[in-house]
Amino acid sequence: MARQNTTAQQDTTTARQDTAVPPPAEAPEATDQPSPVSTDAIWRLPVTVCRITQFLGERTADALLERAVAATDDAWQPSTIRDHELVPDFRSSRSHQDFTAPELMSAIDEVVEAVEHTLGVSCRYTEPDYTLNVHNDGDFYRAHQDSTAEFSPRRLLTFVYYLHRTPRPFDGGELRMFDAALPLHTGTTGAWQEHTWRDWEPEHDSIVFFRPTAWHEVRPVSCPGKRHADSRFAVNGWLCAPDPANARTRA
């Protein structure tokens, strides 16, 4: 047990006692009494998020937003989860699979080394995989992980880049990042209602990076006018480990 320095310095009697050889410890009696020490302790570790604002700069971001707004109507599909399942009360938004943003990918390349160091991941030889997602009035995405041992384990780093018109034409839509709950004793992660979190604003021209195993959600969006151009736009993707199925076989 820690003791206060001041007491140790002022009280010489105590100091001498501290250095004396203690009497031999008696062997503890064997007992069937359960220990009163709680084994339900949980470490709550704030999850690390790397966030950069004004990431591409006004001109590039505004041009990207206009491209996103103008993206052809027929390529928008209701967003899916996991194995392309449609689960409207878990995820409500629309996704555009064919949207390309090479200027965003180059900018990510420029910062990825700093992000790797901060998050403790290595993205060597990874390939980006991304979609454009829009959330309009009433849309949301409930708490999930982007990768687990079973689903999409090749995703090594998540990025989400936000775009919207100014002033922000919607309310809500924060990215909620849950703190990691690490059990001292395996087998318990605590009740879901006890989890703690931090919300991040989906600010135009900002980007966040986090580990794909982190629990996160998109809070419901309120956009009463329901105009497509007033949506919360996000280019959301991952840096993925190469698919072993595509590896060249040795000659």
Binding site for Fe ion (CB under 5 A): 146
Q: Directed axis angle between helix 102-119 and helix 58-70, to 10°?
A: 120
Residue pair 128/108 in contact by the 8 Å Cβ criterion:
yes
Residue pair 158/108 in contact by the 8 Å Cβ criterion:
no
* Residue 235 interaction partner, one of ligand AKG, Fe ion, none, beta carbon < 5-8 Å per kind: none
In whole angstroms, give the CA distance from residue 117 to residue 61.
26
* Residue 147 interaction partner, one of Fe ion, ligand AKG, none, beta carbon < 5-8 Å per kind: none
**In the complex, minimum distance from the CB of residue 142 to Fe ion, in angstroms, rounded to a whole number:** 10
Binding positions for ligand AKG, 127-166, rule CB under 6 A: 133, 141, 146, 160
Residue pair 222/170 in contact by the 8 Å Cβ criterion:
yes
CB of 146 or CB of 205, closer to Fe ion: 146
CA 202 to mean position of chain CA atoms: 14
Residue 95's DSSP bridge partners are: 77, 133
Residue 217's DSSP bridge partners are: 176
CB of 60 or CB of 151, closer to Fe ion: 151
**In the complex, minimum distance from the CB of residue 208 to ligand AKG, in angstroms, rounded to a whole number:** 8
Give the x/- contact pattern for ligand AKG in 195-234, rule: CB under 6 A.
-------x-------------x-x---------------x
| 60-70 residues labelled b (16+ CB within 10 A) or e (exposed) | ebbebbeebbe
Among 47, 175, 177, 181, binds ligand AKG (CB under 6 A): 175
Binding site for ligand AKG (CB under 6 A): 133, 141, 146, 160, 175, 202, 216, 218, 234, 236
